[in-house]
Structure 1
Amino acid sequence: MFRGACHPSVLVSSSSCVLLLLVVGGVGALEVSTGKVSTVEAINGSTVLLPCTYSSCIGIKNLYFNWHYDDNGTMLKLCEAVIPMEGVEPKVSVFHERVEFVGSSKSNNISILLWNITFEDQGAYLCFARNEKEKFRNHTAVFTLLVVDQIKELDKSLTVIIVSVLGAVIGFSIIFMVIKGLVVHFLLSGDEKTKECLVSSGIDNTENGVSGARADSKAPPKA
């Protein structure tokens, strides 16, 4: 697997590419990718998308690409084409009756569809690209297809346990909030009653002259 480098004639105008090369230690600008998930399980008889995109920090010119299937060491070509320049759609040659090109140069996409897959289609698929603008440097990405009778489902008993635990946690949370609300309500009610008691007691005592306030008392008249 080879990775390209930036063309010398565009080093001045492509400073970001030069910086990238310096940082990652010579990794080229051209890159093809099959996405974050490079292995997929698909049901026998279904149609599968084999994803692949390309990128280059200096652009492309006569970008050649192809798809191959690794048949136990024998590389079978599925399709190939050349993209003259950015935004120009390629004329794709397809060599497999169940392969369809679904990419577009406008989105740097060179993906294909594989129709009506069988167990014999299981294996590694290679997406290859070569950029003339980078002195024909190239890059390859691998996508692995696994063909099964049916997609494995999560154990139902485990699902029931998870749902039960979540339900219990939510239930306890609701009960806790209700109890907390009731306690706060009773505490606030008790405080209000205490305040009312103190206020009313103060008023009564004031009216009766026993609030601690000084009352003027007149001495009995002398005979």
Structure 2
Amino acid sequence: MKIKNSVVIVTGANRGLGKQFAAQLLERGAERVYAAARNPELVDLPGVDAIRLDVTDQQHVDDAAHAVGHADIVINNAGFSSFARLVDGDLNDIRREIEVNYFGALRMIRAFAPAMRNRGRGAFLNVSSVMAWLGYEHSNSYGASKAANWAMSNGLREELAGAGIQVSSVLLGSTDTDMMAGIDVPKNRPEELVATVLDQFEGGVNEILADDAAQGLKSGLSDDRGSFAG
């Protein structure tokens, strides 16, 4: 899917990866970039159209779809992590992770896919995580939500086959964003990672393994599950 002259909406676009996506889409010649955020007043990127969107609120999603009219590309970037454990984490935190990371993306897809089908073209870019394939002492509810996001992309390719709609998923490891602030591990640079993702997205890659962590983990998915502890 080519970015030049396209209309794009990016969720969670006020910071981190979302802001980088919006900035680089403009650099690549997108005709219009809608930077969606729960607090659009925090969007400080010249050249974008900031719109209010909480992906957990169906009315917000419907309003965004109405405001945009049609989108050539929808980037489902909005994400939430509570670092909750499965056994004793707060269920409200776990539910919010599922609501944002899975249902939020699905709401956007259901809102924008019909117009894409009618036009015979379009693309979704869904941001998942290597946590879909990992187990840690913490954050496993986040991993479960991202695994659902990954599986959703796989299923959508089948449901939308023949409709002219590209569905790409992004798998990535630790990246230097607000979500990872305070965690002392090696991290991707957001601007470099987004450039890699958009290059592959424009090349039509369905499953974008955006860094060494994603590539290494994907190659070992047939290994014994015990080797996937963090």
Report the TM range for the smaller structure's normalisation. under 0.3
The structure with the greater share of residues assigned to strand is: 1
Structure showing greater radius of gyration is 1
Structure with the larger RCO, 1 or 2 (CA within 8 Å, 6+ apart)? 1
The structure with the greater share of residues assigned to helix is: 2
What TM-score do the two structures reach when normalised by structure 1? 0.22
What TM-score do the two structures reach when normalised by structure 2? 0.22
